[in-house]
């Protein structure tokens, strides 16, 4: 898990940086504050929860933090779709961000599934 943890930590941090840059652009050039703020919150929360998981007090706490990060990924994908469909972000940026977030989601899903199976409650 350590290798996946490091990869997902790095990817989620870069994703958060990209989200902050999108937020700055949307608020400064398009005066869009509502949807972009939601994306900012969920998109930066992914990495924050992964960082919290690194100091988890138990394996259960660790899984819980990763699961919260997974849910934030899913929410971020929703806001990205909405921003794209309402033409606030273009296709190229949307595809890039969506692909990055989906990759983080796949890693987190795999990690959570593996740990839960090891714990014997493969939910």
**Would 62 be classed as within a structural domain?**
yes
- Residue ranges making up the domain that contains 90: 2-116
Any idea what the CATH number is for the domain that residue 43 is in? 1.20.1440.60
**Would 72 be classed as within a structural domain?**
yes
**Would 107 be classed as within a structural domain?**
yes
> What's the confidence (pLDDT) of residue 104?
98
Q: Which residues contact 60 (CB under 8 A, 6 or more apart)?
A: 119
Q: Is pTM beyond 0.85 here?
A: yes
Total structural domains within the chain:
1
**Would 91 be classed as within a structural domain?**
yes
**Would 122 be classed as within a structural domain?**
no
> What's the confidence (pLDDT) of residue 75?
98
Q: Hunting for tokens 């504050």 — which residue is that? A: 33
**Would 85 be classed as within a structural domain?**
yes
> What's the confidence (pLDDT) of residue 2?
54
Q: What is the mean pLDDT of residues 64-89?
A: 98
> What's the confidence (pLDDT) of residue 1?
44
**Would 111 be classed as within a structural domain?**
yes
CB distance 53 to 88 below 8 Å: no
Q: Give Cα separations from 43 to 39, 58, 67, 121 (angstroms).
A: 6, 25, 14, 28
**Would 123 be classed as within a structural domain?**
no
């Amino acid at each position: 898990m350590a290798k996946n943890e490091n990869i997902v930590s790095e990817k989620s941090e870069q994703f958060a940086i990209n989200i902050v840059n999108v937020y700055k652009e949307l608020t400064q050039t398009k005066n869009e504050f509502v949807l972009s703020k939601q994306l900012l919150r969920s998109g930066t929360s992914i990495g924050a929860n992964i960082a919290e998981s690194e100091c988890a007090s138990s394996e259960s706490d660790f899984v819980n933090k990763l699961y919260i990060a997974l849910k934030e990924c899913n929410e971020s994908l929703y806001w990205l779709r909405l921003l794209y469909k309402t033409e606030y972000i273009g296709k190229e940026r949307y595809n890039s961000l969506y692909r990055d977030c989906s990759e983080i989601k796949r890693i987190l899903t795999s990690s959570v599934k593996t740990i839960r199976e090891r714990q014997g409650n493969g939910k």
